[in-house]
């Protein structure tokens, strides 16, 4: 049969948030081998299963809508695919669904996040309402200064909780953790606990990346 493109959506939570992007790649390769899934292998000197991730997730951040693209060499029902993946994956990585890709990874424009944290609420509100939020972003070319405020879109805020979005994608991406690093630096106070979860990935037209 012709190969069939498939996009696998999964969550990465709990203990799995500390798995780096490179390690996640190996983890899925092994899971595919264990599950004996009919995944297309690259040709050439050193064949390996073809998988690619639409958008990397920062170390320490959980994700509920992560996705991986691959190619099937045999027809297999979505239910079976999901089941076999989940039997072969560690507990804190769960495949949620799979479908033929609709949008291209290059169309990704932003990510929405939920953060639960424990810090001085007043200081945090003051921090968010400032005109500029300067931060440093590590890039391939070194450290770049940027103003987070320009890119931040707060969707919901209450003490210890923030729902917000940042630009995402291959062109320009802001790690959600930068906001909280900036808070600690600017306010001089400490965040005692912090859990960030990516809850949605959206395209430039505002629609969910699917």
Footprint of other proteins on this chain (CB under 8 A)?
Answer: 14-16, 18-20, 23, 26-27, 29-34, 59-60, 88-92, 177, 192-195
182 burial via Cβ count (<10 Å: 0-12, 13-18, 19+): middle
Kindly state the tokens that stand for 43: 């040709």
Helices (H) and strands (E) in the chain, counts: 5, 10
Q: How far apart are the first and last CA of the chain?
A: 24
CB of 60 to other proteins, least distance (A): 5
Q: How far is the CB of 184 from other proteins (least distance, A)?
A: 12
Looking at beta carbons only, is 71 or 202 nearer to other proteins?
71
Nearer to other proteins, 149 or 195 (CB): 195
Name which of 37 and 108 has its Cβ closer to other proteins: 37
Give the closest residue to 53 by CA, choosing from 170, 139, 206, 202.
Answer: 170
Smallest separation, CB 134 to other proteins (Å) = 21
Measured in degrees and rounded to the nearest 5, phi and psi for residue 190 equal -110, 145
Cα 11 from Cα 93, distance rounded (Å): 6
**Cα–Cα distance between 173 and 181 in angstroms, integer?**
16
In this complex, which beta carbon is closest to other proteins, that of residue 148 or of residue 196? 196
CB of 50 to other proteins, least distance (A): 14
Residue 81: count of CB within 10 angstroms of its CB: 20
Least distance from C-beta 92 to other proteins, angstroms? 6
Based on CB atoms, which residue is closest to other proteins, 46 or 150?
46
Rounded Cα distance between 149 and 128, Å, is 8
Closer to other proteins by Cβ: residue 29 or 97: 29
CB of 39 to other proteins, least distance (A): 12
Contact 192, 119 (CB under 8 A): yes
């Amino acid at each position: 049969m012709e190969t069939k493109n498939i996009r696998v959506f999964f969550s990465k939570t709990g203990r799995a948030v500390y798995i780096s992007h490179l390690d996640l790649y190996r983890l899925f390769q092994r899971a595919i081998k264990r599950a004996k899934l009919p995944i297309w292998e690259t040709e050439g000197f050193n064949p390996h299963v073809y998988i690619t991730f639409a958008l990397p997730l920062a170390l320490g951040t959980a994700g509920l809508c992560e996705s991986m693209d691959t190619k099937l060499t045999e027809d297999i029902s979505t239910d079976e695919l999901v089941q076999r993946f989940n039997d072969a994956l560690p507990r804190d990585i769960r495949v949620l669904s799979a479908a033929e890709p609709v949008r291209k990874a290059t169309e990704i424009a932003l990510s929405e996040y939920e953060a639960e944290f424990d810090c001085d609420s007043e200081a945090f509100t003051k921090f968010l309402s400032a005109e500029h939020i300067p931060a440093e972003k590590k890039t391939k070319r070194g450290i770049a200064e940027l103003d987070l405020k320009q890119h931040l879109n707060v969707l919901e805020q209450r003490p210890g909780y923030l729902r917000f979005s940042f630009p995402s994608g291959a062109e320009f991406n802001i790690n959600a953790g930068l906001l909280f690093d900036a808070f600690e630096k600017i306010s001089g106070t400490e965040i005692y606990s912090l859990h960030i979860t990516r809850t949605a990935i959206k395209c430039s037209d505002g629609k969910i990346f699917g």
